[in-house]
Structure 1
Amino acid sequence: MYAVEQYARAHIVTDTADSPDDERRVVPVALRYDPETDPRQVHITLPGPHEWVFPRELLEQGLRVPVSKGGVRVWPLGRVQAVMEFHSAQGVAVVQVDSKALMRFLRRTYTVATPVAH
């Protein structure tokens, strides 16, 4: 069994931009799912040491309707984009990602066999 990893491009959405270029800066986002260590969770890593772990189901539902759990919110933005909002003590990070990339990642997570509990 193996972990699923995928990289996607995301736009950082902020209202504190110094210039129009900063407002929609493109950053790499790492998506990870490891069925052996945590079969119900996905990991999303933003630039720097910013990793978020939340239920895979939240990401899946958030592609269709607005959902939130803890410090994570996900909602569709039209037909081709999704927004993920991450809240922490350091502030709020909001990123916009192509829905197609997130759906591809989710499909791959469901093709990996889930470990059987003993």
Structure 2
Amino acid sequence: MFTVIEQAVEARLVAAAPRMPTIPATLRYDMRDPFAVHMSFPASATLEDVDVSWTFARELLAVGLGEAAGQGDVRVRPYGFERTVLEFHACEGTAIVHIRTGELRRFLTSTAMLVPVGDEHLYLDLDADLAELMREA
């Protein structure tokens, strides 16, 4: 059984230039961390020329498809019918990307087939997490 879902998406970086460049990005979901989604960008798409990965709640992504969501480092909102905007805020600056809403819906559907929404708590292994914390202490 698969425990991880990865999906490549086409992101359009919002910049001052009139044409938004397309950058590759990958959405990742691991059922061992059932509340989280990871989105990564390759070094070639970043100002610092290093791979960048953001982690945020699966629920944030789902809510953001229909209405503005998020108050912290990651914010999601619809942009018309076909696109969704993701904003990533860091001390170095803000990156804003547009992604096809259909791609995000397909990804969320796949994650829900792996871990149904509302059942995430059933996939947590609190004993293993506690043991890991104790080993690190």
The residue type equivalent to 2:56 in the other structure is F
Query: Is the counterpart of residue 103 in structure 1 residue 99 in structure 2?
Result: no
Q: Quick one: distance in 1 between partners of 2:62 and 2:52? A: 21
Asked if residue 27 in structure 1 is aligned to residue 29 in structure 2, the reply is no
Cα deviations across residues 65-111 of structure 1 (Å, max 9, x unaligned)? 00114211100011110000000111110000000000000000011
Query: Runs (4+) of structure 1 moved beyond 2 Å?
Result: 113-118
CA RMSD of aligned residues (A): 1.5
Between the aligned partners of 1:116 and 1:70, the Cα distance in structure 2 is 24
The residue type equivalent to 1:104 in the other structure is: R
Question: In structure 1, what is the equivalent of residue 35 of structure 2?
Answer: 40
Structure 1 unaligned runs (5+)?
none
Are residues 116 and 43 of structure 1, via their aligned partners in 2, closer, same or farther at CA, if it must alter by over 3 Å? closer
Residue of structure 2 equivalent to 1:84: 86
Structure 2 unmatched ranges of 5 or more: 44-50, 128-137
Distance in 1, Cα, partners of 2:37 & 2:78: 18
Q: Which has the higher contact order (CA 8 A, sep 6+)?
A: 1
Number of aligned residue pairs: 112
Structure with the bigger percentage of helix: 2
Of residues 68, 71, 82, the one that matches 2:73 is 71
Query: Contact 1:58–1:69 at 8 Å: present in 2 too?
Result: no
Give the residue type in structure 2 aligned to 1:34.
Answer: D
Per the alignment, residue 9 of structure 1 pairs with 10
* Bigger Cα displacement from structure 2, 65-74 vs 76-85: 65-74
**CA displacement, residues 11-39 of structure 1 (integer Å, 9 cap, x when unaligned):** 00012x3xx4xx41001110000011x11
The percent of aligned pairs where both chains have the same amino acid is 38
Provide the C-alpha distance between the structure 2 equivalents of 1:64 and 1:98, rounded to a whole number of angstroms. Answer: 13
- Whichever of the two has the greater Rg, that structure is 2
